[in-house]
Structure 1
Amino acid sequence: MRFTESAKALSLTCIFAIGLAGRPGIAQDQIHLDDFEVTFTEDFDQLDVSAWGENRSRWIAHTPWNGDFGDARFHDPEEGFPFTVNAGILRIEARKGADGQWRSGLLASTNPKGEGFSQQFGYFETRMKLPPGKGVWPAFWLIGIDRSKFTAEIDVIEYYGRAPGEFSSGYHVWRQGEGAQHTTDGHLTTVEAGVLSNEYHTYGVEITPGRSTFYLDRKSIWSFETPPEFHMPFFPLVNLALGPGWPIDETPNPSYLLVDYIHVYKRKAQSAEN
C-alpha cells in the first residue's frame, strides 16, 4: 500500500490465525525450512546502513525511488536515531520533534542503482514485535527490482495500531500510463488483540512461479496465484510509518518497532515447486 492513500480500498477476508487449536474447518499448512537453504541473513548484531548506499552499505534508509509515505518523514541515519541495535534486536523509532514533525525509519536492501540484495522466488521472513498505539503503521514488504514498466509489490504485513486485533497482507501491480489498470488484492488476519505488540512473531511469504503463500509463525494464512509480473527478483523493506489516513494525535511519542531478524531462503533443488 505504498502508492495509494490508505489500505481501506483493499478487499479483505478475515480468518483467525493465532489460537486456532480446536477450531474445525481451518487448515493451516506449515512451511518446513529444512526444504530451503539460506540466501540472506540479517540478524542485526550490527547495522550497516547509510542514507542512499554510500560506501556500498547493506541497507539504505529510504525507498530507492525516494518515495516517502505516511505521516512521518523517513530520517537519514544518525547516532541513536532512528535505528539502534542491541543484543541482536533492531529498534526503529518514530519520534515527534520539537518542531512538531514526526520522523521515523525505513530500511531497503537495494540502492537507487539496483545494487544490493534481491532474489527471484523463495521465502522471505522477518521476526518482529510491533508497536502499540493508534496511528502506528509498521510493515515488512517486498518490491520487484525492475520498475521500468510497472511496480510489483508484496505486503507481507501491514499493521494499523487503531486495530490491534488484526493485520493485513496484500499484493499489487501498479502499472504505468494514463488509464492503466492496476491489480490489487488483500487479506485480513484476525488475532487476539494486543498479541502482536506483546510478543515476537514471524511473518513470511513464499513466492513460487505458480503460487505465493503468506505465513504467520510459519503457518499459512493466505495464498494467491503468482502473477507473471512477479517473475523477477524482489528486495525486502521494513519500516515504521505513521497513518495512513487515520489520526496520529494519540500516537505514543516515541513509538518503537523491534525487529529480531530478516532472512531469505531458496528451496533446495529436490523440493523446488513449479
Structure 2
Amino acid sequence: MLPSLSRRSLLKHGAAFIGCDLACAGKLIAAEKDDDPTLGRELVFEDNFETLDWSIWNAGPKATTSDTGFYGRSAFAKKGGEEGFDPYAIVDDPVAERGKALKLSAKYIGRTMNVRKYYGNTLAEFQWISGNLQMAMKDGTILKGWRNGYFEARMIFPRHPLSWPAFWMLNGKSILAPKTSIELDIVEHKGWEPTVYGTYMHEWGQPGENSRSTGVDTPVDMTKGYYRYGMLIDDSRCVPFFERKPVIDKKTGRPADWRLTRSGQLNDEHDIFWPLLTLALRTDVPFPQPLKDEDRLTEMRVDYFKVFL
C-alpha cells in the first residue's frame, strides 16, 4: 500500500481529471498479551450502530474549507443520498456484536450527475455515489472529538477493483485553517489486496511537514470477516493497532510508535481529533474494462466505533 498516492495527492488528481486467528502473525504484529491498548482504560464512547445517530454523524464531502471535500472517483453523498441512491444504512448482521451494523455503499450511476461542486459529474469513470460519515462540519463544528485516547472500529472491507475504504482522523483546526493539518489514517485498504493495508500519520503543511507510514500484512482476509483497527494517541505520539496488537513498522522492524511533532501546538490551541468512516474509490488504478455487473455496487460494514481513555 505504501507506493500508492496519498489522499491529498488524489484530491489534486481528481480535480485535474474534472473482521481473527493471529497464530501466524508473530513477525507482523507484536504478540505480548499486555500490549492490549484497552487494558487500564475506560470506555468513554461507543456507537454500535443500532441506529444512525445524525446528531453526531455528518454525511457528505470531507469537512474542510481548502477544497470541495471530494477525492477519488466517487461523490460522497449527503444525508438521504444523491442521484436516487442512499449509501447509508443500518442492517441486520448476525456476526456484529449487537446484531446490527452500519453499511456504507458505493454505486456506479453511469450517467451525468448533478452533485454540487463534484468534479466528476460528467466523467464516466467518476460517476459513482458513495458514503462518508464524519463527526465534524464544514463550518468548523466538531460534533464529537477527543485529544487523546485509543480509537477503534471493527469493520469488514469490500473485495473490489477500485474500493478504498478508510477509518481516519483529522484535527479540528484543520477545517477552518487548512494550511496545516494532522491526518491519522488508522487504516486504508485497497479492495484488490485482501491481506494488506496501510496506516499513516501525516502532519501536512509547512513549517515542519512530517509523515510516517507502514504497510501491514495480515494473516487474514479482511474482506471475509470483521477485524479491529485502532490507534492509540497520547500527548506526543500515535501507535497503530490491528486486532489490539501494535503493528510492526516495516522500516524499523519494531512496533510502530510515531512522534507527533505538533503535539505542543495541539495542546496550546486546545485542538482535538475527530473521526471519519469512508468508502472511496481510487483513481491511481485503471478503470475496469468492462466494469462487471457485480462490481457496480459494493459495500463496507462497520460493527462499532469505540473510544477508550
Q: TM class by shorter-chain length?
A: 0.7 to 0.9
1:190 maps to which of 207, 217, 221: 217
Partner of 1:36: 41
Matched, 1:228 2:279: no
Aligned to 2:57, which of 52, 55, 59? Answer: 59
| Per-residue deviation, 1:174 | 1.1
Alpha-carbon RMSD across the aligned residues, in angstroms, is 2.4
Residues of 2 paired with 1:24 and 1:158: CA distance?
21
How far the C-alpha of 1:244 sits from its partner, in A, is 3.5
Q: Structure 1 103/26 Cα, relative in aligned 2: closer, same or farther at 3 Å?
A: closer
User: Separation in 2 of the partners of 1:161 and 1:26?
Assistant: 22
Superposition deviation, residue 175 in structure 1? 1.0
- Structure 1 25/217 Cα, relative in aligned 2: closer, same or farther at 3 Å? closer
1:172 to 190, 202, 215: 202
Deviation track 1:43-92 (CA, whole Å, cap 9, x = no partner) reads 1111133xxxxxxx311113111411110110122277111102320000
Work out whether 1:264 is the aligned partner of 2:296.
no
Taking the aligned partners of 1:73 and 1:22, their CA distance within structure 2 comes to 37
SS at structure 2 position matched to 1:4? helix
In the alignment, which residue of structure 2 is the partner of 1:210?
Answer: 236
Aligned pairs for 1:1-274 (under 5 A) are 1-5=6-10, 19-21=22-24, 23=26, 27-29=30-32, 30-49=35-54, 57-61=55-59, 62-65=61-64, 66-78=68-80, 81-87=86-92, 88-99=100-111, 100=124, 101-112=127-138, 113-147=140-174, 148=177, 149-175=179-205, 182-192=209-219, 195-221=221-247, 222-229=256-263, 231=267, 232-249=271-288, 250=291, 252-266=295-309
The verdict on how the C-alpha distance between 1:26 and 1:164 changes in structure 2, with shifts beyond 3 A counting, is: closer
AA aligned opposite 2:131: G
1:212-257 deviation line (CA, Å, top 9, x unaligned): 1111010110221232245531000011000131124257120100
Change (3 A) 1:28 1:47: same
Identity %: 25
Aligned-partner Cα distance in 2 for 1:63–1:77: 13
Kept after mapping to 1: 8 A contact 2:37/2:150: no
State whether residues 18 and 191 of structure 1, in contact with CA within 8 Å, keep that contact through their aligned partners in structure 2: no
Q: Report if the CA contact (8 A) 2:150-2:308 is conserved.
A: yes
Unaligned runs of 5+ in 2: 1-5, 12-19, 93-99, 112-123, 248-255
1:34 Cα deviation after fit: 3.8
TM-score if structure 2 supplies the norm length? 0.72
Q: Unpaired segments of 5 or more residues in structure 1?
A: 7-16, 50-56, 267-274
Deviations 1:144-178 (A, max 9, x none): 111225110000000012322200000111115xx
- C-alpha distance in 1 between matches for 2:173 and 2:31: 33
1:170-221 deviation per Cα after TM superposition (whole angstroms, max 9, x unaligned):
0111115xxx66311210001247x100010000000112331111010110
Normalised TM-score (structure 1): 0.81
